[in-house]
Amino acid sequence: MSALAKKLFDQLKSKEFREYLMSTHFWGPVANWGIPLAAIADTRKDPSFISGKMTVALSLYSVMFMRFAWRVQPRNLLLFACHFTNTCAQLTQGARFVNYYYVQGEPKKEAEAAVDTK
């Protein structure tokens, strides 16, 4: 086990790894992780705050960048993982949006309740 740890430590000290840490191939995806983390955090909020148009736009954006991350040479798997996570989070938000506005009809129920109390 110590041989494996030493090999991993040597890899982390290598010039190639240091160059990777100083490249946009690393920092671009790191900066991009804010989008899927925010979407994941928003899954706990009330679905009335979800914007359907923005959810669709962010889903399409992430799908396009997943393709880019896969096609660019060398492949940017960190960027791919970021946009894969964002696509999953946005599709979850989209499902919550559709469920809230079109399946449950929650806004209609609230409007009917307001009319009944008058």
pLDDT digits (tens, 9 = 90+) for 9-61: 888 888 888 888 888 888 988 999 999 999 999 999 999 999 999 999 999 99
Task: Look up the pTM and report it.
Answer: 0.77
> Strand (E) positions, 1-66?
none
What token pair was written down for 106?
């929650």
- C-alpha to C-alpha distance for 97 and 100, rounded to whole angstroms: 5
- C-alpha to C-alpha distance for 49 and 39, rounded to whole angstroms: 12
Are 111 and 58 in contact, with CB atoms under 8 Å apart?
no
Listed residue (67, 42, 65, 72) closest to 54, CA to CA: 42
